[in-house]
Each structure stands twice: as C-alpha cells, then as structure tokens.
Structure 1
C-alpha cells in the first residue's frame, strides 16, 4: 500500500516553476483545486494530484 504524501504550496509552486501570484491566481480560477485545510495555516495537496497537475502544466508550455 502506498500512502500519498502531503505537498505544501511552496513545493507545489516550485514543481510548477511559477511564482506565488500566478499560483494563487490558478487556485482562485479553479485550474488548481482548493487545498485540503486541516487548520487555518495547515493546508496541502496530495502528491498524486500534484503530479497530475505538473504533467498537465508541462504539456501546456
């Protein structure tokens, strides 16, 4: 059984090679789904979702 690790926003931005403004514009527009929020400042995405979005982003470039 493989467990999906948590990816924080900073790492997600780094993997996409985009800045904070562009990243949050994608989140707000719905291109990137809203993060899972455990607490106000504890947010993340699962690595399987991040991997899919990174691959999708590479094909757009």
Structure 2
C-alpha cells in the first residue's frame, strides 16, 4: 500500500523553483490545480499531483 503524502505550498514552490507571487498567480490562472482544503488556511496538495505538475513545468520553455 502506497500512501500519498501531503505537500504544502512552500515545498510546492521550491519544487517548481518559483517565488510566492508567481506561484499564487499560476494558481489563480488555473495553471496549478486547486489544493485540498482542510480549513480556510490549512491546505495541501497530494504528492502525486505535485509530481505531475513539476514534470509539466520542466517541459515548458520559459
């Protein structure tokens, strides 16, 4: 059994190598999927989702 761990915003930003402003701009524009919300401020993404997103961003030329 493989348990998908939770990734917080800061770690997601580090993996994408983007700053806070760009990260939230990408989220607002729909380039990054919405997080799972436990409460209004307690949010996370599943590691499997983060891995897919990081791979997509690696393939994009800047």
* Superposition TM-score, scaled by structure 2 size: 0.94
Q: In structure 2, what is the equivalent of residue 7 of structure 1?
A: 7
Give deviations 1:28-53, integer Å, cap 9, x for gaps: 00010111100111100000000000
Structure 2 portions without partners, runs of 5+: none
**Comparing both structures, which one devotes a greater share of its residues to strand?**
1
TM-score calculated relative to the size of structure 1: 0.96
- What is the alpha-carbon root mean square deviation over aligned residues? 0.6
Matched residues in 2 for 1:32 and 1:41: separation? 18
Displacement over 4 Å in runs of 4+: none
Distance in structure 2 (CA, Å) of the matches to 1:52 and 1:33: 11
CA drift of 1:58 comes to 0.4
Residue aligning to 1:54: 54
Q: Deviations over 1:12-31 (max 9, x none)?
A: 00000000010001100001
